[in-house]
Amino acid sequence: MPSARPLIPTVLLSICSIGICSTCICATGNANDWPQFRGPSGNATAPDSNPPSTWSDTENIAWKTELPGRGASSPVVFGNRIFLTAYTGFGVDTEEPGDKADLRLHVLCFERDSGKPLWDKSIKASSATQNFGQRVADHGYATATPATDGEAVYASFGVSGVVAYDLDGNLMWQAEIGDETAGFGSAASPVVYREMVYVNASIESKTLFAFDKKTGKEVWKADSIVKSWTTPCIAEVPGGPPELILNQQNEIFGFDPITGEKLWWCAGVEDYIVPVPVFNNGVAYCLGGRSNRAIAVKLGGRGDVTKTHKLWQSTIGANVTSPVYYEGHLYWASDKAIENCLRASDGAEIYQERLPTRARIYSSIVRAGNKLYVTTRDQGIVVLAAKPAYEEIAVNVIKSDETLINASPAVSGNQLLLRTDRFLYCIGE
């Protein structure tokens, strides 16, 4: 394991995941699949889906299932199975967190059609796990969203390592990624591409790992990955092979996903990175930093591409949350509950509007059809029209569930899968 030095505290969350251009990288079984954080193409978009615009305790709830523990990870779907992570035994009750030695980290499996629990497998947390405090209390110990290729499910638990289970819940392998912690913890989700699983362990060991998905053996690694809480992205490049994109403090990297060769690099945001990039037509849009910056980079370059491929930089961006791209515009809700729209061609501001919540927003926006779904922590989901003018369609709150929402929803067919601290909901008819 590579050595690591502690990093400065930072914000993380709901964040973890992958983004690529409109061509799907991940294998999918059917149109209902959402096999990783932000969907099959990693861009948080379900172009042909039409989930409900409105719901409540008594309207458009197909089913709900009580969860055995808390977590900020999002559900993923493949076929008739839903996978999710959670934690129990420590830090569940913020006033009496308990004994860290009792912390268990769970991978859960549910039946897609009914929400029926199918299996629950857990591992004991590493002794290097962060001590409980207010920063950790916000998000907990199960922040990274799992990923599945329809053959296995892969989950990362930071200093407790990466685990792979087959679809029946049998442990296939477990791999270590480092033992350092910082700030709010770790959040980077695993990414599955071809025969490998990629994990950004910037926090745990300043390392980007590529593991064999069947054995868990290290295939390649990249060192000196700094202050990056985000998930690496597999992006298709017009006229060229796919690239693995990783955004970190000061730099954006493009790697060969098969060999690990660093293909290009570009000057980036001068601060830690949490949001996941989105891609369209060979351009990556990268947000990050407490100063809220956004950068557009043309893919496919070689070497230092700062002067040749960096298209624009904006002083409007996001500290935590990730954007979506739609019809020439970027949309996202900042952690300060501001909805943003930028023109993708030049980064020009189209609008900024305050959302109906005063709480921080940690989950990332999702587009389904012509609607945007923005998940707040304490005021449910705000549904907006996907157009370059602020238009609020509905605000949906399940009043019987007063727990917080840190997880981004998944789209499966014409339904939403939403995870709160207490329940997993299927929203739709």
Count the helix, strand and coil residues of the chain and give each as a percent rounded to the nearest 5.
5, 40, 55
Domains of the chain, residue spans: 45-427
Name the residue with tokens 């849009």.
285
Please state the rounded mean pLDDT for residues 146-171: 98
Rounded-to-integer distance, Cα 30 and Cα 116, Å:
20
Comparing CA positions, the residue from 210, 281, 223, 280 lying closest to residue 253 is 223
pLDDT recorded at residue 25: 52
Rounded-to-integer distance, Cα 93 and Cα 56, Å:
27
pLDDT at 386 over 90: yes
Residue pLDDT, tens place only, 209-225: 999 999 999 999 999 99
pLDDT at 245 over 80: yes
- The distance of Cα 224 from the centroid of its chain, to the nearest Å, equals 22
Contacts 24+ apart (CB under 8 A), 388-396: 388/329, 388/341, 388/343, 388/350, 388/351, 389/350, 389/351, 390/339, 390/341, 390/351, 390/353, 392/356, 393/53, 394/53, 394/54, 395/356, 396/54, 396/55, 396/56
Q: Where are the beta strands (DSSP E) in 167-309?
A: 171-175, 191-193, 196-201, 207-212, 218-222, 233-237, 240-248, 251-255, 262-267, 278-280, 283-288, 293-298, 303-304
pLDDT at 425 over 60: yes
pTM, full prediction: 0.92
CATH of 45-427, one of 2.130.10.10, 3.20.20.70, 3.30.1240.10, 3.40.10.10: 2.130.10.10
Residue pLDDT, tens place only, 14-56: 333 333 333 345 545 577 999 999 998 889 999 999 999 999 9
pLDDT recorded at residue 145: 97
Name the residue with tokens 């893919």.
299
What are the structure tokens assigned to 110, written together? 């549910």
Q: CB–CB of 8/27 below 8 Å?
A: no
Name the residue with tokens 């700094």.
226
pLDDT recorded at residue 29: 57
Using a pLDDT cut of 90, give the percent of the chain over it.
Answer: 85
pLDDT recorded at residue 183: 77
- Find the DSSP H helices in 339-425: none
Amino acid identity for residue 324 in this structure: V
pLDDT recorded at residue 311: 98
Q: CB–CB of 245/265 below 8 Å?
A: no
- Intra-chain end-to-end CA distance of the chain, in Å: 49
